[in-house]
Amino acid sequence: MASRKRLFEGSPAPKSVRDFRDWGVEETCEFLRKEGLRDWEDTFRAQNITGAILRSLEETHLEKIGVKRLGDRLLILHSVKKLWLIGTQSSKVFNDPVHGHVELHPLLIKIIDTPQFQRLRNIKQLGGTYFVFPGASHNRFEHSIGVCHLAGQLVQALNERQPELLISHRDILCVQIAGLCHDLGHGPFSHLFDGMFIPKARPEITWKHEHASLAMFDHMVKVNHLEPVMKDHGLVLPEDLDFIKEQIAGPLDSNADEKWPYKGRPEDMSFLYEIVANKRNGIDVDKWDYFARDCYHLGFRNNCDHGRFLTFARVCEDNNRKIICTRDKEVENLYNMFYTRNRLHREAYQHKVGTIIETRITDAFLKADRFIHFQGSGGQKFTLSTAIEDMEAYTKVTDHIFEQILYSSSEELAESRTILNDIIRRRLYKCVGETRPEKPVTFDQETEKTWREDLATNSAPHSRGETLQPEDFVVRVVELNYGMKEKNPIDEMRFYCKDDPNRAVSINKNQVSKLLPQCFSEQLIRVYCKKLDGHSLDAAKKSFVQWCMDMDFSKPQDGDVTAPELTPLKVSWCQDHGTGEKAKRVRNNLFK
């Protein structure tokens, strides 16, 4: 990391008002005095130039109102631009493997240099996927810096391309802070913690990492005394704190006005809420970074070119609301983006081995939960699952829990230790097959119990005379989609054409290509066997094929290999339907 001094230092704006866009003539003149431009105060007053006009001020305007000398005109414009350009103070530069040199504002550095943010160094971005892909060792720390960088790039691109939007220095900083802090609430192994562990450890509550991000952000600001620092850098509190948190998790008040539920910014700045976490269509800088970063570390090719989106991003009005749009010719690039998302989920995030490893880590954490304690506020002790209630305790909860259990000598952690040792030694439950339901299924504990019983019923005794039991099976259902369940997110995107860049239009899938997906969500059902001997696995695979036939699920890809005597019995699975009597004989011989 290296520091760099800017050529010009920014001067503080008048404190009598909170934003240059709200300045009247006198506040504008006060700004000129602070910038050493007192000679032009009367000229600005005579022309009734307010803060809102400053954003549109050009050299030709200054010449018309009597600023004759070129040097004076350039000096005024330079001072005025400080109001909305963020890069006017000392900054630091990070060398990022994905984005190159990333330059960050001093306030962002203050946030990075806190224990609450540094904690993210010890939370892997892809959780248990690291046990399958050796390169996936990156963490939430570097991802958050990447999101902050891209958020700044996008909002500044809009600012430069459309000065009439009146994007302020404050807006840019708040958007970057939201990008930096959006993942503060992640727990050990990222989505494993909030998606698998907490729902099982505390089924009575609904908890998401976004909720914890807000609580951790408030805690970080308080214990590190960041409010005065934020004010020194021009933020207005608590308005800007609300704006930052709303970008992370949406409206803070569930009972807010449905027409415009946000408090941090007015409706005419609605597009700012689409940069970090876009609730409208999911196209945001968070995805851009993790697509690029995850592909880089996984060794995948990234088909999403977010640089083109930055180049063509533009704010247009749609249904009386300002939204971020892109050029019509970029529609295929956006489909490529969501294809990349689908591929990452299918081949990495939901990898069949990674899934069972995360299931086993969850089992270990559940067994260890009440025996591991973290000291929180006032010296109070919290367990792994209750630490989410106290941010002082939660700050200490990271991926290190895995090693803490693995290397412990406590008898209370013996079961958890055995599970983690099995992971390290690669003694994992084996996937006996994968299938797809024709229609979406509801998967809960009762469904899993019934399916395991059915799988056990279908299993024939193997050569040792043993029959598989329901507890020998593990069933997992994987949801795959384009980020909006069964919906096509591009339907919620708006585009503009070269001939009319201010008009937002939608582009139907049929206008793009006949080769695009017809369906935007599906489920994968995977069955694992806990017994690892060859005889049990063979029996489990045959049982799985039979179960798929009974449930009218899709034919397993290896079904003809693992159970060639069974697959011909399912008419819909066969190209040749003439298997009749022969198929019946095969089945009778197998189960007699």
Instruction: Decide: helix, strand or coil at residue 375.
Output: strand
Give CA–CA dist 255/367, Å, rounded. 39
Cβ atoms of residues 585 and 565 within 8 Å = no
Give CA–CA dist 35/32, Å, rounded. 5
The residue among 471, 464, 441, 445 whose CA lies nearest residue 548 is: 441
Q: Which amino acid is at 128?
A: G
List all residues 6 or more positions away from 114 whose beta carbon is below 8 Å from its beta carbon.
Answer: 220, 224, 226
List all residues 6 or more positions away from 546 whose beta carbon is below 8 Å from its beta carbon.
Answer: 458, 563, 566
The angle that helices 209-223 and 239-249 make with each other, rounded to 10 degrees, is 150
Give CA–CA dist 579/583, Å, rounded. 5
List all residues 6 or more positions away from 326 whose beta carbon is below 8 Å from its beta carbon.
Answer: 309, 312, 313, 314, 334, 493, 495, 496
Give 395's DSSP letter.
T
From 209, 219, 233, 351, active-site residue? 209
Instruction: Decide: helix, strand or coil at residue 265.
Output: coil
Q: What are phi and psi of 192, to 5 degrees?
A: -60, -40
Give CA–CA dist 179/156, Å, rounded. 14
Give CA–CA dist 82/11, Å, rounded. 8
Based on the residue annotation, tell me whether 209 is a catalytic residue of this protein.
yes
Other CB atoms within 10 A of residue 423 CB: 19
In the block, tokens 């450890």 appear at 201
Other CB atoms within 10 A of residue 274 CB: 22
Residues with catalytic roles:
209
